[in-house]
Structure 1
Amino acid sequence: MKFVKAQPIWPAGLETAMNITGGFRAQLMDASGNLPESCLVRVTASARYRLYVNGIFVGHGPAAGPHGYYRVDEWNFVNDEYATGRPSIVAIEVAGYNVNSFYTLDQPSFVQAEVLVDGVVVAATGITGAGGFETFVLPERVQKVQRYSFQRPFMEAYRLTPGVHQWRVNSTAAPAPAVDAAVAEQKRLLPRGVSKPEFGLAMPAAVVARGAVTQRDEAVEPWRDRAISDIGPLLKGFPVDQLELLPTDELGQLQTSWQEHYEQKLSRELHLEQHGAAIFEFDCNRTGFIGMTFRCEEHSRIALTFDEILTDGDVNHLRLECSNVIYLECRPGAYDFETIEPYTLKYLKVVALEGSFAMMNCTIREYANPDADRAGFSCSSDSLGAIFEAARESFRQNAVDNFTDCPSRERAGWLCDSFFAARVEADLTGDNVLEHNFFENFLLPERFADIPEGMLPMCYPADHYDGTFIPNWALWFIIQLEEFAARGGDEQLIASLQPRVEALLRYFDDFRNEFGLLENLESWVFIEWSKANDFVKGINFPSNMLYAGALEAAARLYGEETYYDDAAMVKQMIRELSYDGSFYVDQAMEDAGGVLEVTDNRTEVCQYYAAFFGIADPQEQNDWYMSLVNDFSPIRGAGEPLLADISGIHPANAFIGYYLRMELLSQLGLAKQLLAEIEAFFSVMAERTGTLWEHNRTTASCNHGFASHVVRSLYRDGLGIASVDRKARSLAIAFMDTGLEWCSGKQPTPDGPIELDWRVEGDELHYRLIVPQGYAVTIENYSGKQLVSEQ
């Protein structure tokens, strides 16, 4: 990927300034001075850009790339049907942050763009005079504001004046005096690599509350999250005493009283007088750019706050420990406003802090994966069907250009999360382009700053100035890489990653003790959000189980026999030390005399690690397996008596415990129980937010990418598509005893979709299967019914 003429530019002297928004505009004409019929815009930037042609929104980007590399987007004005009419003005807005985060990288701001007509460049950044881009520092966005969160850069606050966006459509209008642009050093460029996002507009379903805000009777202690209080060299931003405004402080001193009997309907125009408030509800949790068309008759200040759920009937904009606030200060006039950053919400609260205004329209311009609708699933359980759609929705919002944990407070590409999300990409889209980008991002940097040699960042692309990493989480990189290979992943990319894998495993050599087990790992050793995280010092057995699995995966990937030998030794030592005759213990520690003592700390998730990584044997430890199946569940204690005394086993949480449990039940062929547990655990999430949650409660994100892995369970254990080998062009069908009356699904592949439908009629299971041409099929029947093909 390369540019023909464009150079990377930025307003001179501001390349490393924090939170500067640049505006760049080109007037289009051909050699005869006429407007073109069509154009293609090629663009990349640091950090985030949005593109307008003739004042109409075209796109947002770029896709996530590693340090020192930038992915280039191409937007075809005609073929992609963004707008009608001849292209006249191309306007690009770029938010340059220059702070470390888990979402955008701390790299100097720039934009590089060119416009082509019939393959000929007619405008490009870095050209002066005709055929160049005018450069502005857009004044409306307030620079010195608080960070949005610890994991993301700045919140959005604006001072708007009438005609603030006229420069996008009128070449004689200027948002501010034009400034000189400095040309930066040449950038290393990459193709986008993944589909361009879906930008559909979603409207609220209803106005669910009207009321008014008043000052609290007693002052409230100001909210001082680490994103405000810990600003310094390790977390860049503006210190509190430099902030131009702090909207969360003002909102913290307000309370809202709601009308008792508000009629839930969406009027065409909503008027809010001073101190008025209203809450809009969207059909489900959505991610995108918040937009509002409104009119102010007087100087007004408006706060938009939002969240995924209502808390005590109101929007708690701090629930996720981030500042879910958009602040607008407006002079009298009409505005068509939209955020430059994507946010996640089901509920939007609008408050007239000062003055009054009339809202004509409110939208979310979605920012989502466009390929997730290639698949389909339905069955006789409406709840399971709704859970599938919630999983699809969670995936499409967390798989735009990277596998993100959540599309809200972090937008971070975490290892381990990516293992589960990558499976879903294959199931829902039939492809692995996101996964290719994911691994390419880890491949290209020469080294990863601020973490030990050989170690991989816990999430990437991201900056980790505080030196924190999750050593055991890096092992999931190898586990996922093996599955990437099985999914038909780029063989050259996999081969190129061998030095990364070998360096990672060499890092762990220094932590192996006399038993060959990892002991006293550095930094943040993470098992899951449960009591298991308290037992990570000394020898942590779940981490060693994962280590054994990674060694075996590396051996299979690269044919290194010593990895097999090491894995076998680690697994055997775990069996000897960790299993106490009933359950696997999480931890062993040396006493004051240096003698190793196995503790009695036992967790549910440790048992699932043992099953997933082949430490336990289903034949030899049948009682142990049956105890996991019968005595544990994500809904245990919800009414049904436990079959054994497991009071000494600390319960698991959703991630990764319950997801490993789903794999356990599938391994044992217990499809009926698995579907029942899925329905019991996820149905509330699907009903309440239309997305699936980070935890088993609403204390954290209600839209998490890994949770979409339930798609894999529904296809495999519900529908019966047990496995698909895209490289060998084969698939295995396994009909199970599911308890369902019928099931239907479509799963895409690069060669065409797999379509399977079945229904139970008495003692018979009637099915219809359509596969891509040339695919070999094996069918196994564990349903207890006689199979009847209706081909």
Structure 2
Amino acid sequence: MSSDILFDQGKPVWPDVAIGQMNQHVIFRTSLNNLEFKNPAIRITGVTFYKIFINNEFLYYGPSRSPSEVSKVREIDLTKYLDQELNNLISIEVIGHNVNGYGMSYQAPFLQAEIINNSEVVKATSASSKDFISYMPNYKEQKVSRYSFQRPFVEAYALNQNSFDWKTKNDFEFDKEILQEIKEVKLVKDYVPTPDFSIKESLGTCSIGKFTIKPSIQEPYKNRFIDNIGDALLGFKREALTSVLTDEITLIDIIETHELPEMDKSASSLKPKEFSIVSMGENSSGFIRSKVKVLKKSRLYITFDEILSDGNVNHFRLNTGSIIRYDLEPGEYALESLEPYTFQFIQYYLFDGELEIQATSLRNLVCDDVKRVLFKSSDQELNLLFEAGINTFKQNVVDIFMDCPSRERAGWLCDSFFMGRAEIVLTGSNKVEFEFLRNFALAENFKNISDGMLPMNFPGDQFDGRYIPNWAMWFVVELEEYYNRTGDSALVENLKTKVENLMHFFEKYINEFGLLEKLDSWIFIEWSKANEFLQDVNYPSNMCYGETLKAAGRLYQNNDWIAKGQRVKEVVLEKSFNGEFFIDNAIREKGELINTENTTETCQYYAFFFGVVSADSHPKLWNTMVESFGPTRDYDSVYPNVHKSNAFIGSLLRIDLLGQNNLIEKQVNEIKGYYLSMAKKTKTFWEMDDTHASLNHGFASHICFSFIRDVLGIQINYLTKEISWNLKDVPFDNIDLILPIGDETLKINLKNDKDQIYYSHSDVSEYKISVNNISGKALIKL
């Protein structure tokens, strides 16, 4: 089987008794001693996820996600982790979900690994060798519900002082499992930068309180991720569950909550029916860590969320079961969740027993490549916004572009378009975007959706056949921008057949005017009324389709696609624009296509963003958009029949359009109007303009791109190696900026006085830097 990396000896293995089972927790152990270490390394891949420990110290979490018929191999240098004087214990903890979801492929679990020393394999997984010994602990409950519709299982544990001996004791005795080699998949090299796994301490306890326990579950918690288990959504059906954490947590009846006057960093002692709430100070993503001293046998529930709701954690706010349960024998524990989560607040509930929460922290699972970027201006609100953009970006960009690191951890198209722009300015490259797009190229086909269509999020497997045709269009538009940023013609060529098949897919929906009509499945414009005016001809979809055709034509030198795309835009303008606004949709009545009166703010933004019109061609509409719409608009009195936009994606398109048209002061003010309250509450940007959905959504990190391209006027051509700094009369007094460019950085300093601007910049190897003064002030180089 063709592979980038061939294991010399390692084979994909899994315990015989666990094959075909869901939610299996498996440990693999080996040891290294009596060796003179020379360039030691481990090659590893697996399904679904693994954690590596060496001598009880965390090393790595992986793998990077991939299509179901492919697995990505990581080679990790072990030099600084092995001790020549010790019998080094290497433990690999694997969770094999064996279910479908939005954030990972449906694939049979396995582990494949080998350890190399001095260019020779010294340990390898196989069914016949004794190099790696397998153990299946019984302390993690298997038959529990999913965490969400999009993600696999919640976590429930029954622990004693010996539960984690598998990673601390070489002489640990256990029942060894018989390993079976499973079917090999295609192996490819993992190019994702190593994530940041550092430890982030909490700020301390912010609230304490008491609760009672109801005598019985009055009404089971209902949600599709519990009650709709079947062929389309894999998991354990309710009647098979040995625990239902989402029901158990409903027994809690909070009777008092006390907010502490200041954060308490000391240990929090809990007795039965007491709780404490710990704050991270900002939205954070990774593995929940709790240092706990158990005085009496205890049942502890941990719940978590991005905000507090009426002073407490609402563990169901995101339509998730944001709950972990621990049954703990007396002793001291260093607990760490097996799965990554997103939260700002953790609420500990003690049902019975007695214990101390001695410390709460998080093991980060975030992008490490943002550490070089710096944005420090005299405007503290802008600094906060840029920091929130970085926080949002790094938590959503680990191995793929994700919509959110909480509810889904899924690689959604459209969101990815905006993150691709953010990645290049925040990291100096598009390494993760390459992996994200490469996954589409690696897939032999896309299961469970119509031939030619692309999945709406990937890697992931939805068995219900659902897709978003619009998101496939955004894929093509993103691919062109990726090519223009990177010049990666190889990946573009590898995706050519899939793009051609997509263009062919849309042909069956083309009506007599050349427009798409009666698209199937989930048509998505944005989270607003725009998502209700979808049939029979949706004009925003056709605006996007026109640009998709042109982008595909430019990528693959297809003039027919380019001409067809231009014609689509012209027809949309002819039919949708009524002289004042673009109408959202038309319906078919007695064979005639009749425009409705449905009008949305977002439809106007689509028209400008996709080049159907411009500020020059339609100045009246443009001026109406600029002056009458936006975050301060009174929706009841100002164009009440034009339905407002939401954060995803109308508001962001507006921000981008203001920047493109050099309305910088207004752009900055509206960025503050839309996003500043988000940054203050969570230090991340949200999916919508209220708190009922994700409060950490990757697409909105695009704000950082707007700050660089628009506010500061810095445009970088990474192919021709040209940096153009269009110096503007910026709406702040000074700024220090460090911008990653490849392996180097561009350092900029600017001071803005009444009549003159002082500036300086560093050099970047091989790059030509030009400074253009469009500020109207005198320019003085420092």
Q: For the superposition of Structure 1 and Structure 2, which TM-score range results when normalised by the shorter chain?
A: over 0.9
Q: Relative to structure 1, is the Cα distance of residues 391 and 26 closer, same or farther in structure 2, using a 3 angstrom cutoff?
A: same
Aligned to 2:108: 108
Please name the residue that 1:149 is paired with.
148
The corresponding residue for 1:14 is 18
State the AA in 1 paired with 2:756: E
Q: Distance in 2 between matches of 1:93 and 1:526?
A: 39
Partner SS for 1:466 = coil
Structure 2: how far apart are the matches of 1:202 and 1:220? 39
Q: Can you list the C-alpha shifts for 1:369-400, whole angstroms capped at 9, x where unaligned?
A: 01011211122210110010010011111000
Residue number in structure 1 paired with 2:266: 268
Letter in 2 for 1:660: L
Between the aligned partners of 1:279 and 1:259, the Cα distance in structure 2 is 10
SS in 1 for 2:324: strand
1:719-770 deviations in whole A, cap 9, x for unaligned?
221x211110002212233322222312111262222221112211111122
- 1:270 Cα deviation (Å)? 2.1
Q: CA 1:771–1:512 in 2, change beyond 3 Å: closer, same or farther?
A: farther
The match for 1:728 is 720
The answer as to 2:698 corresponding to 1:705 is: yes
Shift of 1:233: 0.5
Residue matched to 1:626 = 623
Moved more, 482-491 or 772-781: 772-781
| Partners of 1:685 and 1:692 within 8 A in 2 | yes
Q: Which of 544, 552, 576 matches 1:546?
A: 544
Tell me the CA shift for residue 253 of structure 1. 2.2
1:774 to 763, 766, 769: 766
Residue 668 of structure 2: which of 669, 675, 681 is its match? 675
| Partner secondary structure for residue 357 of structure 2 | strand
Is 1:604–2:601 an aligned residue pair?
yes
Structure 1 contact 38–87 (Cα < 8 Å) conserved: no
**Preserved CA contact (<8 Å) 1:309 1:347:** yes
Cα displacement (A) at 1:701:
0.7
Task: Find the aligned partners of 1:87 and 1:542 in 2 and give their Cα distance.
Answer: 64
Change beyond 3 A, Cα 1:571–1:205: same
What is the DSSP-based 3-state SS (H/G/I as helix, E as strand, rest coil) of the residue aligned with 1:753? strand
Secondary structure, counterpart of 1:296 in structure 2: strand
Secondary structure at the counterpart of residue 416 of structure 2: helix
Alignment of 1:62-461 (within 5 A): 62-79=63-80, 86=86, 88-126=88-126, 128-130=128-130, 132-174=131-173, 176-216=174-214, 220-260=218-258, 262-461=260-459
Distance across 1 between alignment mates of 2:129 and 2:232 = 42
Moved more, 108-117 or 310-319: 108-117
The verdict on how the C-alpha distance between 1:602 and 1:466 changes in structure 2, with shifts beyond 3 A counting, is same
Q: Distance in 2 between matches of 1:218 and 1:763?
A: 73
Counterpart of 2:709 (choices 706, 716, 723) is: 716
Q: Which moved more, 1:777-786 or 1:320-329?
A: 777-786
Q: Deviations over 1:601-651 (max 9, x none)?
A: 00000000000011113223111101100000023239xx97xx4111000
Task: Provide the residue aligned with 1:582 in structure 2.
Answer: 580
The equivalent residue for 1:484 is 482
The 1:118/1:520 distance shift into structure 2, 3 A limit, reads same
- For residue 168 of structure 1, what is the amino acid of its counterpart? K
Deviation at 1:38? 7.0
Q: Give the distance between the partners of 2:641 and 2:367, measured in 1 at CA.
A: 43
Helix, strand or coil at the partner of 1:299: strand
Stretches of structure 1 lacking an aligned partner (at least 5 in a row): none
Q: For the Cα contact (< 8 Å) 1:635–1:681, is it kept in 2?
A: no
Q: CA deviation at 1:786?
A: 2.1
Structure 1 residues 368, 84: closer, same or farther in 2, change over 3 A?
A: farther
CA distance in 2, matches of 1:112, 1:192: 14
Q: Who is 1:636 aligned against?
A: 633
Give the Å deviation of 1:217: 9.0
Does the CA-based 8 Å contact 1:37-1:86 persist in structure 2? no
Distance 1:445 1:628, change over 3 A: same
Q: Within 2, Cα distance between the matches of 1:766 and 1:740?
A: 13
DSSP 3-state at the match of 1:66: coil
Q: Give the root-mean-square deviation of aligned CA atoms.
A: 1.8
Q: Which amino acid aligns with 2:703?
A: V
Deviation string 1:67-89 (CA, Å, 9 cap, x unpaired) is: 2111112222234x698974611
For 1:83 and 1:785, how far apart are their aligned partners in 2?
62
Residue 440 of structure 1: SS of its match in structure 2? helix
User: Which residue number in structure 1 is paired with residue 32 of structure 2?
Assistant: 28
**CA apart distance, 1:564:** 1.3
Q: Distance in 2 between matches of 1:8 and 1:183?
A: 6
CA displacement at 1:27 relative to structure 2: 1.9
Distance 1:392 1:85, change over 3 A: farther
User: Between Structure 1 and Structure 2, how many residues are aligned?
Assistant: 778
Alpha-carbon distance in 2 for matches of 1:171, 1:471 = 54
Residue equivalent to 1:4: 8
2:757 corresponds to 1:757: no
Q: Distance in 2 between matches of 1:37 and 1:258?
A: 60
Q: What's the CA shift for 1:169? A: 2.2
Distance verdict in 2 for CA 1:781–1:623, change over 3 Å? farther
Change (3 A) 1:751 1:241: closer
Q: 1:594 matched to which residue of 2? A: 591
In the alignment, what sits opposite 2:736? Answer: 744
Q: Deviations over 1:385-431 (max 9, x none)?
A: 00100100111110000000000010000000000001111111111
- Residues 770/551 of structure 1: CA separation in 2 closer, same or farther (3 Å cut): same
Cα distance change, pair 479–499 in 1 and its aligned pair in 2 (3 A): same
Q: Quick one: distance in 2 between partners of 1:398 and 1:582?
A: 39
Pair 763,123 (structure 1): closer, same or farther in 2 beyond 3 Å: same
CA, structure 1 residues 783+48, in 2 after alignment: closer, same or farther (shift >3 Å)? Answer: same
Q: In 2, are the aligned partners of 1:77 and 1:83 still within 8 Å (CA)?
A: no
Name the SS for the 1:377 alignment partner. Answer: strand
**Matched residue of 2:342: which SS?**
strand
Identity over aligned pairs, percent: 36
Instruction: Check conservation: 2:127, 2:180, Cα contact below 8 A.
Output: no
Q: Distance in 1 between matches of 2:524 and 2:326?
A: 40
Alignment partners' CA distance in 1, 2:616 and 2:442: 44
Structure 2 residue ranges without an equivalent (≥5): none
Asked if the contact 2:549–2:562 (Cα under 8 Å) also holds between the matched residues in 1, the reply is yes
**How far apart in 1 are the matches of 2:592 and 2:514?**
16
Deviation by residue 1:648-698 (Cα, 9 ceiling, x = unmatched)? 100000111011101110121100100011112211111111111111111
Instruction: Give 1:637's aligned amino acid.
Output: D
Stretch moving more, 745-754 or 144-153: 745-754
Amino acid paired to 1:51: I
SS in 1 for 2:440: helix
Instruction: Name which of structure 1's ranges 94-103 and 197-206 shifts more when overlaid on structure 2.
Output: 197-206
Distance of 2:431 and 2:717 partners within structure 1: 17
Q: Which residue of 1 aligns with 2:680?
A: 687
